[in-house]
Amino acid sequence: MLKAYACQDGHLHCLPPEKASEAIWFDLETPAPEEYALVTRITGFPLPHHAELAEIETSSRLSVKGDILTLSLPVVVRLPDSVEDGVCGFVLSPKYLVTIRFAPSTLFTQFSASAPPEGQLASADIFSGLLEGIVDRLADALERLREELDELSHRIFHHRFGSRNGARNAERELQALLVKLGQDYDTISYLRDSQLGVARIAPYAISAVEWMPKTVRERLKSIQKDVSSLNEFSTHLTDKVQFLLDTTLGLINIAQNSLIKVLTVVSIVGIPPTLIAGIYGMNFKNIPELSWKFGYAYAWGVMVVSAIAPLLWFRKRGWI
Residue 265 lies in a domain: no
Residue 275 lies in a domain: no
Based on the fold, state whether residues 196 and 235 are members of the same structural domain: yes
pLDDT for res 167:
57
User: Residues 66-96, buried b or exposed e (16+ Cβ, 10 A)?
Assistant: eebbbbbbbbbbbeeeebeebbbbbbbbeeb
Instruction: Report H helices in the chain.
Output: 33-43, 50-53, 58-61, 106-114, 123-157, 166-208, 214-280, 295-317
Cβ neighbours around 149 below 10 Å, total: 20
pLDDT tens, residue by residue, 259-278: 787 777 778 888 888 888 88
Q: Whole-angstrom Cα distance, residue 30 to residue 53?
A: 13
Number of domains the chain is built from: 2
Residues of the chain with pLDDT under 50: none
Residue 272 lies in a domain: no
Based on the fold, state whether residues 233 and 303 are members of the same structural domain: no
Residue 227 lies in a domain: yes
pLDDT for res 20:
86
Based on the fold, state whether residues 247 and 292 are members of the same structural domain: no
Residue 229 lies in a domain: yes
Cβ neighbours around 220 below 10 Å, total: 23
C-beta of residue 309 within 8 angstroms of C-beta of residue 273 = no
Q: List phi, psi (to 5°) of 26.
A: -110, 120
Based on the number of CB atoms within 10 Å of its own CB, is 283 exposed (0-12), middle (13-18) or buried (19 or more)? exposed
Based on the fold, state whether residues 27 and 173 are members of the same structural domain: yes
C-beta of residue 189 within 8 angstroms of C-beta of residue 280 = no
pLDDT for res 115:
57
Based on the fold, state whether residues 159 and 286 are members of the same structural domain: no
Cβ neighbours of residue 17 closer than 8 Å, sequence gap 6 or more? 2, 4
pLDDT tens, residue by residue, 9-63: 767 888 888 888 888 989 999 888 899 889 899 988 888 888 888 887 777 788 8
Residue 124 lies in a domain: yes
Based on the fold, state whether residues 169 and 295 are members of the same structural domain: no
From the centroid of its chain, how far is CA 88?
19
Rg (CA), the chain: 34
Cβ neighbours of residue 202 closer than 8 Å, sequence gap 6 or more? 131, 220, 221, 223, 224, 227
Residue 208 lies in a domain: yes
Based on the fold, state whether residues 307 and 159 are members of the same structural domain: no
Based on the fold, state whether residues 290 and 245 are members of the same structural domain: no
Q: How far is CA 130 from each of CA 89, 125, 244, 284, rounded to the nearest angstrom? A: 12, 9, 35, 95
C-beta of residue 299 within 8 angstroms of C-beta of residue 276 = yes
Nearest CA to 47 among 23, 27, 76, 74?
A: 27
Q: Which domain holds residue 243?
A: 2-256
Residue 3, H or E segment: strand 2-8
Residue 238 lies in a domain: yes
Based on the fold, state whether residues 216 and 288 are members of the same structural domain: no
CATH of the domain at 227: 3.30.460.20
Based on the fold, state whether residues 162 and 298 are members of the same structural domain: no
Based on the fold, state whether residues 201 and 96 are members of the same structural domain: yes
C-beta of residue 130 within 8 angstroms of C-beta of residue 222 = no
Based on the fold, state whether residues 207 and 105 are members of the same structural domain: yes
